[in-house]
Amino acid sequence: MNGWKSPQFLVAIAFAAFALAVSGAYGQCTGGAGSCLVPHPNPGCEDPDCCGLVCDADPSCCTNNWDADCVLTANQVCVGLCGADVSLSCLVPHDNPACDDEVCCEAVCLIDSFCCDVRWDFSCTFFAEVNCDLGNPGVCGDPKTGSCYEPHPSAACDDAECCAAVCAVSPDCCDQLWDVLCAGLASDVCIGSCQPQCPPESVEENEACEQNVNDPCYFPSANPVLQTLPCGGVACGTIYVSGSSSGIVRDVDVWRFIAADADGDGNASVQLSFSSGFEGFAALVPSGRCPPLSSALTSVNSALCIEALSAQVCVPAGEYRIVVAPGTFPAFGSTTIECDVSDRYFLRAVCEDLLCSPPCNPSAGSCLMPHTTPGCSDIECCELVCASDPSCCDLNWDGTCAAMAADQCTDPPVNETCATAIPIAEGTTPIITLGAQASEPPVPPECFESGGVASQADIWFSFTSPRDAFVEVTTCGVASDFNTGLAVYGGACESLSLLACDDDGGGCLPVTSSTVVFDATCGESYLIRVGGGQGTAGLTLTVFGGPDCVNCPADLDGNGSVGAPDIALLLGAWGAPGAADLDQNGIVSSPDLAILLGAWGPC
């Protein structure tokens, strides 16, 4: 299966991680307050994760009421929520779960929960096409549609430029209908009457409006006073633009930004999130006295109060500058901007260092275990698998990739055959079948309760019973990533005698675990075969009943003591095989006599 890989999704996850850390402060985020995508008079909303994200951006949503602004924010940040715009179109495959039409999303997820739990893939879009009525797309600028600033039942609106700007933020407005949220977006995006909200943790610009003390280009001979913005930091400030007799006077803000290297590869990924009450932009530029905007590594133009994201870039870890200026990148604007609350801006710098590392690197996950990021830690194995299946390095390292790694990169387990069985005792023993193949002889058909998984790959253990007892062998209760099967044999590998077998024993978890119970004889050895797929699990062995048996092979007459009668029996068997062959070398001789004398006395 594919994983969540888009930069936009990972940025949203970074936001979510921060928001969830503080969401405990919002007591209304406990579910049941009302839909997160519909205004209601109560604070909070029914999805706790989405509620925490929204209330982090606007605490009033959890203290007053869940109004249209809260719904708008939910549509922007609640990725993975059915119906949220940020969850993306139901008709287009994407890396996050859910999609932007709530009714369709919920209908599809009833058919295939994968679509809401993991990823909205091609199967999900197929189900959406077959089962959902997603309306008719509208045409921006069509005068028959209706005003951009008033709700109407058709999609799109009559102002082509405003319509395109709104639909870039919320595609539903052009795909389904122009509702109250679309009209509200038009007011924010097209008129510019909004006032950006800065969260409590933000760093406030310490430069007074109308000044340029943090602009190295404005006073080239002076030492600028730059505030530092770290990865994940949030900055708020104001911009001023005014006409003068000598030309346009602009207040350009410059922040010192530190791109941190989290995994030691020397790189960091950076993405800027920017909103403002004026037409402006933010740009990441190299550190220096006055780097030109043409050297910008990434930039983002404001969508007014709607947070806009720059392209994500990988840069060497270290110091940079973030320029905030009026206009549309890369041109400075000349529209008058006053120093009031409507001329504020919000800037966040997001880092996700893993995106800059090659998929095959020592910091990636294990090649033998599925994970949501691409690539794995064994570079040679990773490159080998990705040569066969590029999605393992492009999307995520799923179960198929891990299975390929197990098949192509691992040496067979030492106990892959009956002849190399590993001795075990009571307790739990790890099972590792990675790299194993099916061994001989075949598992009998009567052992196959669920398709014969025991024949796909298997390993062997041996067990010598310490007493006459019932012995239970089970994979129940231990986490397993494959469907296990068990078989227990008596005898030698050349003449195996099946005593018990099981494939899905029932009555315990996981449901694909197995359990066998057999009657063991003191001192007898048994062979335990564990099969299924390739992966890891655990095997628990328990011995019930009776006292431990006495192991006294030198007591040849069986009277409980080694003495003269036993010497007589040993001498009588001298030079031949038999029970007196204590060292089991095939003949009774002086080493056997030495063993008997060493065991002299009661057993």
pLDDT digits (tens, 9 = 90+) for 103-127: 889 989 988 888 999 888 877 887 8
Q: Any idea which residue has 């003191």 for tokens?
A: 522
Each residue's pLDDT tens digit, 257-285? 998 887 677 888 888 988 887 888 999 99
DSSP secondary structure string, 112-136? -THHHHT-B-HHHHHHHHHH-----
> Would you say the C-alpha torsion 354, 355, 357, 358 has a positive or negative sign?
positive
- On whether the CB atoms of residues 215 and 224 are closer than 8 A, the answer is yes
Contacts of the segment 491-500: beta carbons below 8 A, 24+ positions apart:
491/527, 493/417, 493/418, 493/419, 493/527, 496/418, 496/441, 496/527, 498/444, 498/447, 499/526
**Backbone torsions φ then ψ of 600, nearest 5 degrees:** -55, 135
Each residue's pLDDT tens digit, 550-578? 678 888 887 878 899 999 999 989 998 88
**Is 12's pLDDT higher than 50?**
no
Please give the C-alpha separations between residue 153 and each of 40, 135, 510, in angstroms, as whole numbers. Answer: 21, 10, 50
Q: Minimal CA–CA distance to 71: which of 97, 94, 53, 89?
A: 53
- Predicted local confidence at residue 24, as pLDDT: 40
d(CA 68, CA 307): 16
Each residue's pLDDT tens digit, 46-100? 999 899 889 888 888 888 888 878 888 888 889 999 999 888 888 778 888 999 8
d(CA 330, CA 307): 19
Least trusted range by pLDDT, from 352-356, 550-554, 590-594: 352-356
List all residues 6 or more positions away from 444 whose beta carbon is below 8 Å from its beta carbon: 487, 498, 501
- Predicted local confidence at residue 467, as pLDDT: 84
Each residue's pLDDT tens digit, 443-496? 887 776 654 444 578 899 999 888 888 999 998 877 677 778 889 999 999 999
List all residues 6 or more positions away from 304 whose beta carbon is below 8 Å from its beta carbon: 188, 189, 192, 194, 275, 276, 277, 278, 279
pTM given for the model: 0.42
- Residue 319's beta-bridge partner residues? 258
User: Which domains does the chain show, CATH number per domain?
Assistant: 7-191 (no CATH), 203-356 (2.60.120), 365-410 (no CATH), 418-544 (2.60.120.380), 561-602 (1.10.1330)
CB hemisphere CA count around 38 (13 angstroms): 8
**Is 101's pLDDT higher than 90?**
no
d(CA 471, CA 453): 23
Token representation of residue 520: 């063991």
The mean pLDDT value for 163-170 works out to 79
d(CA 190, CA 336): 17
- Residue 538's beta-bridge partner residues? 430
Q: Any idea which residue has 């109560």 for tokens?
A: 42
- Predicted local confidence at residue 80, as pLDDT: 92
d(CA 251, CA 151): 37
Burial 251-264 (b: 16+ CB within 10 A, else e): bbbbbbbbbebbee
- Residue 87 burial by CB count (10 A; 0-12/13-18/19+): exposed, middle or buried? buried
Query: Mean of the per-residue pLDDT values for the chain?
Result: 81
Q: Using alpha carbons only, give the angle 129, 133, 135 rounded to the nearest 5 degrees.
A: 115
CB hemisphere CA count around 583 (13 angstroms): 12
- Predicted local confidence at residue 471, as pLDDT: 93
